[in-house]
Amino acid sequence: MHLAREFMLLLGLGFFVAGLTTYIMTWILVAVHLRDHHPAERARLGGFMFSPRAFGWYLARRYRALRDKSLTGLARLGAIGAWAIVLGALSAFAAKATGGFGP
């Protein structure tokens, strides 16, 4: 059982880091695209990438409502990253809840 908790912890941290990397890299591209093509949506989301509104925008796939194929292509990667952050954090917390961090 100890091995399964450690695996769940490492898997969660791996998902978290990979998702965070993807999210940060795509947010910059999406923010520039929104600034140039959809300024009202950019103003509604705000400038901070980890604001609840921007993070929820990715998780709920609200970028599809803009019907911009270029934006959808970029934002889909950010949504995958956002979900990887959520799933990685949940996995790490589940490992902690089952006693995975202590001696």
Residues 56-60: what's their mean pLDDT? Answer: 93
For residue 5, name the pLDDT band (cuts at 50, 70, 90).
confident
For residue 15, name the pLDDT band (cuts at 50, 70, 90).
very high
Question: Which of 23, 11, 18 has the alpha carbon at shortest distance from 90?
Answer: 11
Residue 71 · residue 33 · CB < 8 Å? yes
Compare 2 and 59 and report the one with higher pLDDT. Answer: 59
Instruction: Flag whether pLDDT at 20 surpasses 80.
Output: yes
76 class by beta-carbon count within 10 Å (0-12 exposed, 13-18 middle, 19+ buried): middle
Mean model confidence pLDDT for the chain: 90
Residues 15-35: what's their mean pLDDT? Answer: 94
Cα 7 to Cα 14: distance, rounded to the nearest angstrom:
10
The pLDDT of residue 101: 53
What is the DSSP secondary structure assignment for residue 1, as one 8-state letter? -
